[in-house]
């Protein structure tokens, strides 16, 4: 089984890390067999599983349920579980209680959204033996405050804030940092300045690894897919071939391309 330390070491050695979201035991088993490096039990389940318009309605009970299902299907994978909206922002002790629920359900790491404002919480959790993956850039739990699903960090001040956020989270013990929907040059700068591996989703090819929503990678999400997604379920391939193609494309640096990335940050 992969662990956080080995994933960090492999990233430092230049290996690209491949991650996918997953929400149930059956898909988890197939994702694991494809050679994925880490599985994210994302609160994106609110949209792709429940049909919600955002991730905000997802509860801690629901996250624990889906984490346990994934853990039963993927017994050898490194599993990261999202802390849902409202389960960690109040104070570090609340985050500890919520993280404990998800680790008891089978997660090996928890993910939370927010920049420097979450540094105290990250330090609090990691000091107590709970690995933390941080998430900055576009933060789906904050879309009501940021004007929706928009690229972040294009203006100079916003870009500098994201760099500062990443550095502070890294210094406080973040094990990984997800960078969502930010200009590729900015993601490259952040990756160069942090020891924690960066995992991109709409952040260009220079991150330490990539993550996609499983349903986007299989082309089964209703409506128009996000720019940064690619349908790997093409040319008559089956599910296992598609999953293996995603892992291979990330490892070889063939995904994402500039077509999946956002423009140059302002200077």
Gap between the Cα atoms of 16 and 191, Å rounded? 12
**H-run or E-run covering 40:** strand 38-41
Within 128-213, where are the H helices?
A: 143-146, 156-171, 184-193
DSSP letter at 106? T
Q: Is 15 a catalytic residue?
A: no
Q: What is the CA radius of gyration of the chain?
A: 17
- Kindly name the residue from 32, 113, 120, 180 that is annotated as catalytic: 180
Q: ω into residue 253 within 30 of 0, thus cis?
A: no
Counting Cα atoms < 13 Å in the Cβ hemisphere of 202 gives: 21
Dihedral sign, Cα of residue 244, residue 250, residue 253, residue 259: positive
Residues carrying an active site annotation: 180
């Amino acid at each position: 089984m992969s662990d956080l330390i080995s994933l960090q070491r492999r990233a430092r050695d230049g290996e690209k890390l491949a991650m996918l979201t997953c929400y149930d035991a059956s898909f988890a088993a197939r994702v694991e067999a494809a050679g994925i490096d880490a599985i994210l039990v994302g609160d994106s389940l609110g949209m792709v599983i429940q049909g919600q318009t955002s991730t905000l309605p997802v509860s801690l009970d629901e996250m624990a349920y889906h984490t346990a299902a994934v853990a039963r299907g993927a017994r050898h994978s490194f599993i990261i579980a999202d802390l849902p909206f409202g389960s960690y922002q109040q104070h570090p002790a609340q985050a500890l209680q919520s993280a404990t629920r998800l680790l008891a359900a089978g997660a090996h790491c928890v993910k939370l959204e927010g920049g420097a404002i979450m540094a105290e919480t990250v330090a609090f959790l990691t000091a107590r033996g709970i690995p933390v993956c941080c998430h900055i850039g576009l933060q789906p739990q904050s879309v009501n405050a940021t004007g929706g699903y928009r690229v972040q960090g294009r203006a100079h001040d916003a870009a500098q804030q994201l760099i500062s956020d990443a550095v502070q989270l890294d210094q406080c013990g973040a094990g990984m940092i997800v960078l969502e929907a930010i200009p590729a040059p900015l993601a490259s700068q952040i990756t160069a300045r942090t020891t924690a591996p960066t995992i991109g989703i709409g952040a260009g090819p220079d991150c330490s690894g990539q993550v996609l929503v499983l349903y986007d990678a299989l082309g089964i999400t209703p409506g128009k897919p996000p720019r940064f997604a690619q349908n790997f379920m093409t040319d008559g391939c089956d599910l296992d071939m598609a999953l293996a193609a995603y892992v291979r494309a990330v490892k070889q640096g063939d995904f994402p391309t500039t077509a999946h990335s956002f423009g140059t940050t302002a200077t």
